[in-house]
Amino acid sequence: MDTIHLIDIEAAINHWRARQPAVDGAALTPAVAALAEVYAQMVFHRQDEADARGMPAPARDAWLAWYATTPDTPCIAICSTSQGDAVCKGCGRTEDEVQHWPGMSPFAKRAVWRRITSEHSAWRFNRYAERAQAARGERATAHGPVLLLFL
C-alpha cells in the first residue's frame, strides 16, 4: 500500500506556504488547503500515515508536486552494496532498494528516506554529511532539517 507520512504532509504544506503565500493573510492557497485538510484528519484520527490512493486528488497532486522538488536518491556515490554489503554504508539503502530504486513509487522512495533518516547511521549522515549539505547549499545542523507547520 502506498502511504504518505505525516512528516511529508507537513513538509509539503511548508513548501507550498513558502512558494505561494496567502494573499489576504487569512485564506489558504488551494494546495495548502488541500494538504491541510488531510493533515487535520490525520491528526484528529491519530494517524501517522495516510493511504495515498484515498487522498483527495488536489492534496495528492500538491504532495507529488512537492515531492518532485526533493532529492530523488540518497546516494552519495559511495556504494558498498556493489562490494557485497546487504546495506549500503554510504546511503543506508538495502541492496534490493538500490537495485529497484528507479522503478519504486514516490511513496516507497519517501518511506526509504524516512527510514534511513531515522536510523541516521549511513555515511551520508556522519562522515560526508557536511559535504552533502554543502553540495545542496544547506546549513549543517545537529539534527538535520526542521519542519515547522503554522496554519
C-alpha 63/C-alpha 60 separation (Å) is 5
Biggest alpha carbon–alpha carbon distance for the chain: 57
C-alpha 28/C-alpha 116 separation (Å) is 33
Backbone φ and ψ for 101, nearest 5 degrees, come out as -50, -50
pLDDT number for residue 140: 46
Q: What is the mean pLDDT of the chain?
A: 85
All residue ranges of the chain with pLDDT < 50 are 140-151
The whole-model pTM stands at: 0.75
pLDDT number for residue 150: 45
